[in-house]
Chains A and B, each alone.
Chain A
Amino acid sequence: MDLNLLKRRGPDEWHIAPRGKMRVPGVIYATEDLIHDMDEKVYEQVTNVATLPGIVQASYAMPDAHWGYGFPIGGVAAFDPDLGGVVSAGGVGFDISCGVRLLRTGLTVEDLQLVKELLAEALFHRIPAGVGSTGKVHLDRYEMQAMLAGGARWAVGKGYGTHEDLEFIEEHGCMDDAKPEHVSDFAKKRQQDEMGTLGSGNHYLEVQQVVRLFDVETASVFGLRAGDVVVSIHCGSRGLGHQIGTEFLKSMVTTAARHHIELPDRELACAPINSEVGQEYLGAMRAAINCALANRQIVTHLVRQVFADIVPQASLSLLYDVSHNTCKVEEHVMDGIPTRLFVHRKGATRAFGPGHPDLPPSLRSVGQPVLIGGTMGTASYVLVGTKESMALAYGSACHGAGRSMSRHQALRQWHGRDVVKELATRGILIRSPSMRGIAEEAPGAYKDVSEVVDAADDASLARKVARLEPLVCVKG
């Protein structure tokens, strides 16, 4: 991106002054190097989002921002319903509530040494992953409704996990005001056999080790020590979310003119929050969030079963579960007045600071765990929300590294088998049904996650707590 387009307001804060139809400025949090490598499309998309009705404060981009659909991936924007604000299906995306959860295991790297291979095989065989995979949980019409209304709370009621898990999931595991009746039969059919599956693409299940602590005190509150083994699960609302995204994108595009909304890009499809389409989308999207939470809860249950069989001394407890692609109603202080806003995070996570009332009591003094996923060959990070972050971008941070190379380029550069072999020499066991999928997801095809995390830390969006490196990775 051309630096001349931006005005620097701090070491890691760049502003785009409102021009043309922009209602608010654009703000990008990133280092000079990251800005330099960002696609011009990010600039275009940040400014396009700034033109949407009812947007307040600014159109934000996180340090990992890259070219998305309508919104940049790594985009954050909030809308005030009383100012004609909109909800955007494009601003949430197809993989509604795709997210990451992190489980402590109570094990150290030494405990896994003799069983790592066995564990990798068992996780690969017991957790459905990849194109066309189906889960063991099949939902009839009644259970589908209950799952869409209840989320992870429904899953726990069915025996998948514990009530304690719910405390450490956003919305306590269940998004209120979900309206399963606004989820089409097509979306429900697409989901009926997909509960408890990982999916494909950048989704994964990883066994990781804590290799470094940056903030020992917060790590201690999070229950993390150097040498600990943890498990990361990255997946979303599967076919149901994809179908809801597809259907509402079309209905918002075709009704935009009726709502007097001028779309600079059809992918920014949106509808007034206070409109029939807007309300129906919100109800369906919240049901999809519940689907994602239930899905990660079932996968967690399967992972616990595998660990119980292979390392019975393990005890898997949930540190936290964050969602990436959402629109949530939150109260934020605007000009000193608490205001109810519809906050869109597209490829961005919540990063609520210490004292936030939505955090569980045991974490409230330090802030929300922010989980940043890396690649199968590099690292992931645990960060913590800061007090400053609440005023920077509604308590939001980056969600991952983002690709630096297209899938096709990656396929030309690497062979899946070679990637698996190379990582095995570094002690990382990869299991996947598709070698082509491995090549497309090769670690070299992604940006440096550490640089992105450092930028988030420098900008005070979130503070680094721990670095995690993979031991076993199951890819879809």
Chain B
Amino acid sequence: MIMQTPRSETVQGSWEHFPHQADIGVRGIGPTKGAAFEQAGLALTAVITEPASVAPMEAVSMTCEAPDDELLLVDWLNALVYEMATRRMLFSRFTIRFSDHSLHATAWGEPIEITRHQPAVEVKGATYTELSVKQDGQGRWIAQCVVDV
């Protein structure tokens, strides 16, 4: 069930949240797997704050490795959770490149400002619940999972 009209729809795709009783699901949709992963990153930011309020000023690079696409999505979101927590930053723009079982990402964002960003909740981690990375009948890539908050 989709609870939210995507707030951001571009040629690169869209994101949305889906419900989980205690927590929240993030879903990225895009013409490529990379675009779907990037949109899932935006959906993650939107759990915390309005992505449009986050200026893409500083770049942070990340690399993840996992045996399959689904575990790679969880790793990617957990890498973002880690960078947000340790740098005390929020991110609003992403680029992703894949090679073999690896993902190389750059995330742009800015240090968190409580008054302006009004962060609702911190994400503890991405989970394997409702986890999937697949193409739908129209060829769109969909990357999703529930995140624990």
A266 touching B131, Cβ below 8 Å? yes
| Chain B residues within 8 Å of A68, by CB | 22
B128 touching A69, Cβ below 8 Å? yes
Bound complex: CA A406 to CA B49 (Å): 16
Whether A209 is near chain B, meaning CB under 8 Å from some CB there, is no
Q: Which listed residue, A67, A242, A434, A476, touches B22 by the CB 8 Å rule?
A: A67
A66 touching B21, Cβ below 8 Å? yes
Q: Say which one of B31-39, B67-75, B92-100, B136-144 lies at the interface with A.
A: B67-75
Known contacts A69-B146, A132-B119: A433-B114 contact under CB 8 Å? yes
Bound complex: CA A239 to CA B4 (Å): 29
- Using C-beta atoms within 8 Å of the partner chain, give the interface range for chain A: 35 or more
Bound complex: CA A52 to CA B17 (Å): 31
B128 touching A267, Cβ below 8 Å? yes
Whether A372 is near chain B, meaning CB under 8 Å from some CB there, is no
B21 touching A94, Cβ below 8 Å? no
Whether B102 is near chain A, meaning CB under 8 Å from some CB there, is no
Known contacts A267-B128, A434-B118, A435-B118: A408-B3 contact under CB 8 Å? yes
Whether A214 is near chain B, meaning CB under 8 Å from some CB there, is no
Whether A34 is near chain B, meaning CB under 8 Å from some CB there, is no
B22 touching A402, Cβ below 8 Å? yes
Q: From residue B43, how far is it (CB to closest CB) to chain A in Å? A: 12
B120 touching A440, Cβ below 8 Å? yes
A437 touching B22, Cβ below 8 Å? no
Whether B56 is near chain A, meaning CB under 8 Å from some CB there, is no
Q: From residue A295, how far is it (CB to closest CB) to chain B in Å? A: 14
A130 touching B119, Cβ below 8 Å? yes
Q: Which listed residue, B3, B23, B126, touches A409 by the CB 8 Å rule?
A: B3
Whether A189 is near chain B, meaning CB under 8 Å from some CB there, is yes
B21 touching A408, Cβ below 8 Å? no
Contact digits for A118-133, partner B, Cβ 8 Å, 1 yes 0 no: 0000000000001110
Q: From residue A266, how far is it (CB to closest CB) to chain B in Å? A: 4
The chain A residue sitting closest to B148, CB to CB, is: A94
Bound complex: CA A130 to CA B21 (Å): 22
Whether A201 is near chain B, meaning CB under 8 Å from some CB there, is yes
Bound complex: CA A93 to CA B129 (Å): 12
Name the 8 nearest CB pairs between A and B, nearest first: A131-B119, A266-B128, A406-B19, A436-B120, A242-B124, A132-B112, A94-B124, A246-B125
Partner-B contacts on A (CB < 8 A): 39, 41, 66-70, 73, 93-95, 130-132, 134, 186, 189-190, 199-201, 239, 242-243, 245-246, 249-250, 253-254, 265-267, 269, 402-403, 406-409, 411, 433-437, 439-440, 476
| 16 CB < 8 A contacts A-B | A66-B22, A67-B21, A69-B146, A69-B148, A73-B22, A201-B122, A242-B124, A243-B125, A266-B131, A408-B4, A408-B17, A411-B120, A433-B118, A434-B118, A434-B119, A436-B118
